[in-house]
Chains A and B, each alone.
Chain A
Amino acid sequence: MGADSIEGTARLDTATTPARLLVAGDWTLAHYPALQRTVAALGAPLAVEAAVDFSALGRLDTAGATLLAGLLGARRLDALAAADGSLPAARRALLRLVDQALESWETAAPRPRRVPAVLALLERIGRTMAALWRQQLLLLGFIGLTLQTLARVLPRPRRWRPTPLAAHVEQTGMDAIPIVALLTFMVGAVVAFLGATVLKDFGASIYTVDLVAFSFLREFGVLLTAILMAGRTASAFTAQIGSMKANEEIDAIRALGLDPMELLVLPRVLALLVSLPMLTFLAMLSGIAGGMLVCALALDVPPAMFLDMFKQDVGVRHFLLGLCKAPVFAFLIAVIGCLEGFKVGGSAQSVGEHTTSSVVQSIFVVILIDALAALFFMEMDW
């Protein structure tokens, strides 16, 4: 394999009768492309009757043996195995082994051909649509299963699992506080800047306070938190459960007579039901604080005046409307995250695919529900 390796050759000497095939040099993987050209030039398997001379053969590995076996053909190999000549027994055994392997492979059924691109595209569209429909049914079924498990566990305090619940609340809630607070603070500041710029033209820049308050209480607080949770928590749930699935841990849970819904799904769903509303509340505070800072610095509205306007103009109703969406989002995000985890197949790639899918789905569902809710609240004049 090093630099001292001599490229293998095969030369047909037709001067003598019968013709002689001279095999020389190293028949190894390092020289494979060159050797393959040599073999192709001679035409494999060799048609003419020829005695084979291996006396100058250097190294031989399975790659070289494959080419050599192809060049010599099965019949000549059989003859070789019977007589001993210039090739040691161990190498004849290797040639035989490779030849047998090739034979069993080539007599087996041909590998399926690829279908034309247009048909493949149509097939893909069909499959995607069918999968989308199945996915909706599956999600509804899984929601039902989760609620059923909850109803079964709730009246039996012995089967409540406070420890995993607390651990998940810590992971999904407490650990997310910095990112949620920082992000909503900055969005709050941006909204205030925007409001100040636009409302100034109407001499109404003081209403920036209302803009920030309404938008964060009704929409942004809960929406931003939910989207963050979809990216942060749904993906984590999918990856955790998916890895367990790939590792047959889910099967082990079932085989032990335990219920994976109760053990894995319920604690996660309940934990997100606890932490997402709390984070939403934090997001509202933080966003309004961001708006307040901009008002104080850019509009000369001091915090005391900001809060006065807040109390006057904004009813507690808006806060409740925003907050009531949080548990719905929490439930859907957690359920989608867990369901995608259970759908993972055996491979690492599958874990990745389903993690992506769970984030995309949960963000989509969150925004869809939020839009529907906004329409409904508007029609109800709330």
Chain B
Amino acid sequence: MSAAADARAGAGAAPAVIEVRGLVNRFGAQAVHEDLDLDVYRGEILGVVGGSGTGKSVLLRSIVGLRRPNAGQVRVFGEDLLALPPERRSRTERRFGVLFQRGALFSSQTIAENVATPLIEHAGLDRAQAERLAAVKLALAGLPASSADKYPSELSGGMVKRAALARALALDPEILFLDEPTAGLDPIGAATFDRLILTLRDALGLTVFLVTHDLDTLYTICDRVAVLARKKVLVAGPLDAVEATDDAWVQEYFHGPRGRAAAAAHPARS
């Protein structure tokens, strides 16, 4: 089996591809993160959970280099993105794909063009090659062929999410950042999405950083879960370890009515 499977067995053994140390993020006087540490290991699927406003998306933006933290260090593939010269930074950025919370598709391009653009710009393919590959990614993400020539404004919320996933996968990244990927999908679509992430991770050895509120996703595909609360990572580890954490919010989250229902639906994991 691949390195990915080893990572699942013992997350500690694989090297860390993302290292966050002493991260501080402030908006004006309000601190979102205070001295936050987090490691993401190669080949794992890390689920990041936390209440609304605990800075899950801000953490994601800090890691991918869209936000300069007020203090602390973020290393992706062992490199500090914000300190790299532009050329090297761009090369590193090609090694990860980001699915934004609201899709963030380019509204002036069709869905197929959205996916083909990074292929043409970065992989040096011609238009025909790029469009063929884009078609594969769109089909992988579960979109019908008829949607390829549509514009993002003509798609439903769930289809936008799928198209955004196809674009995030365009360059076959090593790390996939997903910000609430299954929010707004129907249960069947969400389950397909979970399976797709799992298949891709197993086959490509992807590392997945997943911000989610979807308890089913947590139970089905996440190797480790990190809980963000009180401006830090409260606990990060396998699901059963996190569930057992003695914290009011964690207990409420995993053992509330929805948490119990999700746990009951996935007895194999809990």
Contacts and interface: CB of A to CB of B under 8 A. Distances in A.
Interface of A: 1, 28-30, 32-33, 36, 60-63, 65-66, 88-91, 93-94, 97-98, 100-102, 104-106, 108-109, 111-112, 246, 345-350
A91 B169 CA distance: 17
Contact of B136 (A1, A62, A91): A62
16 contacts: A1-B95, A36-B129, A62-B136, A62-B172, A66-B132, A66-B136, A91-B203, A94-B202, A98-B140, A101-B139, A101-B140, A105-B135, A109-B146, A111-B148, A346-B151, A348-B108
Given A63-B172, A349-B107, A90 B133 contact: no
Contact of A94 (B125, B144, B204): B204
Nearest to B196: A97
Closest 6 CB pairs of A and B: A346-B153, A101-B139, A347-B107, A94-B203, A108-B145, A349-B108
B1 interface: yes
B2 interface: yes
A186 to B, nearest CB: 38
Contacts of B124: 33
A348 B145 contact: no
Contacts of B152: 346-347
Contacts of B90: none
Given A33-B129, A98-B140, A90 B153 contact: no
Given A28-B172, A88-B2, A109-B145, A94 B200 contact: yes
By secondary structure, the B interface counts as helix
Given A101-B139, A108-B145, A347-B152, 12 more contacts: A29-B123, A33-B126, A60-B204, A62-B133, A66-B133, A90-B2, A90-B199, A93-B203, A97-B196, A105-B138, A112-B149, A347-B107
A29 B204 CA distance: 12
Nearest to A107: B145
Contact of A32 (B4, B125, B146): B125
A32 B107 CA distance: 28
Interface residues of B, number: 41
A102 B139 contact: yes
Interface in B137-166: 137-140, 144-146, 148-149, 151-154
B171 interface: yes
A112 B203 CA distance: 35
B203 to A, nearest CB: 3
A246 B172 CA distance: 31
Nearest to B95: A1
A90 B1 contact: yes
Nearest to B141: A101
A127 to B, nearest CB: 18
B239 interface: no
Contacts of A91: 2, 203
Contacts of B119: 29
Interface string B186-206: 000000000010011011100
Interface string B78-101: 000000000000000011000000
B221 interface: no
A98 B200 contact: no
A108 B135 CA distance: 12
A28 B205 CA distance: 13
Query: Looking at B5, B138, B139, B151, which has the most chain A CB atoms within 10 Å of its CB?
Result: B139
Contacts of B203: 60, 65, 90-91, 93-94, 97
Given A94-B204, A97-B199, A105 B136 contact: yes
B172 A29 contact: yes
Query: Looking at B2, B107, B169, which has the most chain A CB atoms within 10 Å of its CB?
Result: B107
A346 B107 contact: yes
Contacts of B107: 346-350
Contacts of B125: 32-33
Nearest to A66: B136
A29 B171 contact: yes
B2 A97 contact: no
A19 to B, nearest CB: 27
Nearest to A30: B123
Nearest to B203: A94
Query: Looking at A28, A36, A104, A347, which has the most chain B CB atoms within 10 Å of its CB?
Result: A347
Nearest to A106: B145
Nearest to B130: A32
Given A33-B129, A108-B144, A347-B153, A89 B139 contact: no
A108 B2 contact: no
A60 B204 CA distance: 7
Given A30-B123, A62-B204, A90-B1, A347 B108 contact: yes
A352 to B, nearest CB: 9
B95 A347 contact: no
A90 B145 CA distance: 26
Contacts of B153: 246, 345-347, 350
Interface string B166-184: 0001011010000000000
Interface in B1-28: 1-2, 4-5
Interface in B92-134: 94-95, 107-108, 119, 123-126, 129, 132-133
B1 A89 contact: yes
B151 A347 contact: yes
B123 A104 contact: no
A343 to B, nearest CB: 14
B247 to A, nearest CB: 36
A246 B2 CA distance: 45
